[in-house]
Amino acid sequence: EPEVTQTPSHQVTQMGQEVILRCVPISNHLYFYWYRQILGQKVEFLVSFYNNEISEKSEIFDDQFSVERPDGSNFTLKIRSTKLEDSAMYFCASSGIGARAGELFFGEGSRLTVL
């Protein structure tokens, strides 16, 4: 069964450092997403991406965040200067179109720890 893969599974970084989280969505999907989940809290939407541009972003997704689909297969989330409060699980997801657009397939997540 096709799946979304994410790397790294866990990253520890110092405050102020740049971090790139990588995702390989399901190959025939057209919508791509990043979500995050702070420990013990809800899964929160960060950003969606379609047709090589951001479709929607939340208030969390400020200028420190960016997304890119550099080579037609990878989908990356970059945090330019990490803060302590960026510590969370980051989930990538992808979906198809039409009635299946709400059927998101999630990766296992990348745990980011900012010290």
Position 38 contacts another protein (CB under 8 A): no
Shortest reach from residue 63's CB to another protein, in Å: 20
CA dihedral (88, 61, 91, 114) positive or negative: negative
Which residue number, 65 or 91, has a Cβ lying nearer to another protein?
91
Contact 16, 81 (CB under 8 A): yes
Residue 101, φ and ψ in degrees, nearest 5: -65, -25
How many residues does the structure list for the chain? 115
In this structure, what are the phi and psi dihedrals at residue 85, rounded to the nearest 5 degrees?
-75, -5
Site string for another protein, 61-80 (x = CB under 8 A): --------------------
The residue range among 15-23, 66-74, 78-86, 88-96 that interacts with another protein, by the rule CB under 8 A, is 88-96
Structure tokens at 33: 């997403």
User: Could you list the residues that contact another protein (CB under 8 A)?
Assistant: 31, 33, 35, 42-45, 48, 50, 55-56, 89, 91, 93, 98-109
